[in-house]
Structure 1
Amino acid sequence: MKKFDLRKIRLKTTRIDDIDDRMLLINLYATQAITFIIGFVWLLFQRRNPFSLYAPENDWQFLYWGLGLAAAVVLLDMLAARFVPDEANDDGGVNDRIFRTRPIWHIALLSLVVAICEETLFRGAVQHHIGPYWTSIVFATIHVRYLRHWIPTGLVFVISYALGWIYIRTGTLLAPILAHFVIDLVMGLVIRFRREP
């Protein structure tokens, strides 16, 4: 039997153009699954019931907070797109590759999966340990494709902090999940239907 040797593993930098569509989706879904599993297990280690975090505490109040934050973020992003040069908002073409040719149902599914997985880990588990400020720093850092430009990095930090704040305010992950979902869905649809200049 052949022995596995860790020293033979080599990492290399890959550009988004080097990855085909199928592999891009596999990577996206796999990273989201890993994110969700880490968040879920972390919640169990915190001796918290993961399912109770998804229950609304104040009836439908989470809808107002989630939709209100999403509307504010979409408006802010539209203003940034209008007044900030394209090169300052460049994410390396990742979002364009993910959303440009997807059918609407798939954009909605991707947005929902990302919202549930990331909010479970960051707002549900991480924020419980280190608070919304440091969680937002970690959240902005893992969105590594934005780190080359300070404007998108700052926006990701502010959005993350706002997601953490509405989670504290409502007491349910449904508020940040809803906001995250609507933000990603609208941005995905904008990319999907945007006309090339």
Structure 2
Amino acid sequence: MKNKQAEIIKTLTDKELVFHLLLTQFILVVLSFLLGIFLFEDWAEFKSLFILDDKRIWTIGLPAGLLVVALDIFLMKVIPKHLYDDGGINERVFKCLSIPMLILVPLVIAFCEELLFRGVIQTHTGLAWASIIFAMVHYRYLFKWYLLVNMVVLSFFIGFIYSSTGNLMVSIMMHFIIDFLLGLIIRYRHLYQSSL
């Protein structure tokens, strides 16, 4: 199964890969709303997950995201490259994005994934189930022990931030910062290597 997925991905152009990534996010949003219809009593309960004027978005979500990125950069310097290699998918997605798209794509991913995994699943089944399902959905990481452990720990950390604050906007900010900054690093590393 892993090899079949890798072969399919190799046949896609970078733009097609980004398209399929965004399509997957759209499916997650649709799934969130369908599950939300059955799991939430009404729209007000669903809407209460989003507290826009909460300072913790900036005082907890932002620093937590920066901490994860700093730790990830450190680990990339000390751990052999083959352990955190996802088959080049992240590099293919982020190296070709313009700056506006480099903001938009991580924002879409953070919103869609947090809506489903924290807002819907964690709210109704708890931190453990949401974190395990989140890690499993990131299929390509299941076959690399380091990436799997990394994803599970990250998922529990984001889930902990959500359960501590009760505000989906805090976990969305954290998720966005992680994806945006790591995507920015990939893009500028690619531009630097291309200029040599």
AA paired with 2:56? Q
Structure 1's unaligned 5+ residue stretches are: 1-11
Query: Of the two, which has the highest radius of gyration?
Result: 1
Say whether 1:52 aligns with 2:48: yes
Instruction: Provide the C-alpha distance between the structure 2 equivalents of 1:47 and 1:37, rounded to a whole number of angstroms.
Output: 15
Q: What does residue range 88-167 of structure 1 map to in structure 2 within 5 Å?
A: 88-167=83-162
Structure 2's unaligned 5+ residue stretches are: none
Return 21-30 or 103-112, whichever deviates more.
21-30
Aligned to 1:27: 20
| Deviation (angstroms), 1:151 | 1.3
* Count of residue correspondences: 185
AA paired with 1:73? V
Larger proportion of helix: 2
1:79 to 74, 79, 82: 74
Instruction: Provide the C-alpha distance between the structure 1 equivalents of 2:59 and 2:72, rounded to a whole number of angstroms.
Output: 20
- Identity, in percent, stands at 38
1:16 to 9, 17, 27: 9
The 8 Å contact of residues 110 and 172 in structure 2, kept in 1 or not, is answered as: yes
Aligned to 1:170: 165
Q: Provide TM-score, normalisation by structure 1.
A: 0.87
For the residue of structure 1 that corresponds to 2:126, the secondary structure is: helix
AA paired with 1:92? G
| Deviation (angstroms), 1:63 | 1.9
The 8 Å contact of residues 14 and 96 in structure 2, kept in 1 or not, is answered as: no
Aligned to 1:40: 33
